[in-house]
Chain A
């Protein structure tokens, strides 16, 4: 069953613009992770934010986490055509399991 729900489902922007994707989840989490997937390929880990963190940066990526609202956002600044991909949030529940529960993803298209 899906835990995270990304919003929007699809996003089309111009190169240089910022892209914001949101993720909402249902249950308590240990951490939340964002992944990128280029068409039909494996997932690339972007960033992990723990439940006791509120914001995290990595290069052009900025992730926020609001556990009271059970939501997270991924901001990609100064987007490039190479950022075109699907972006997924995945939540890791409390406890020792490695299981990740993924949302259905946001398909981002960055037009040159």
Chain B
């Protein structure tokens, strides 16, 4: 079974631009979560989607947004990029939702975003 894929793997953008990152979950997984990883703040939760609905959102400004499509693929968008948005953006998928028990999350390789 193919793993979680993220595109692009590397991206360089300029301050003020916007960027869209894509995540394709493992086949059959319906839940997608996004995380930002920086050396200073570590891994921080951005948002979680299930069946095209955002179920949870982390403490990030409105410049960070996302969506999920009917095939469970997800995109996240960052508008008006700032230098501090440089990070590794990780997507994770799981079967979801956790009505009973818990489901392991499977992470993609990440998109390395550099803002100059």
Interface residues of A, Cβ cutoff 8 Å to B: 1-2, 30-31, 33, 35, 40-45, 48, 50, 88, 90, 92, 96-105
Q: Are B88 and A99 in contact (CB under 8 A)?
A: no
CA distance A29 to B45 in the complex (A): 16
Q: Contacts A40-B88, A48-B104 known; A96 to B99 CB distance under 8 Å?
A: yes
Return chain A residues, CB-CB under 8 Å to B42: 2, 102-105
Q: Are A98 and B109 in contact (CB-based, < 8 A)?
A: no
State the majority secondary structure of interface residues on B. strand
Would you give 28 A-B contacts (Cβ < 8 Å), ordered by A? A1-B59, A2-B42, A33-B104, A33-B105, A40-B88, A40-B110, A40-B112, A41-B110, A42-B107, A42-B110, A43-B90, A45-B104, A45-B105, A48-B102, A92-B102, A96-B97, A96-B99, A97-B48, A97-B55, A97-B98, A98-B55, A98-B56, A99-B33, A99-B58, A100-B33, A102-B42, A102-B44, A104-B42
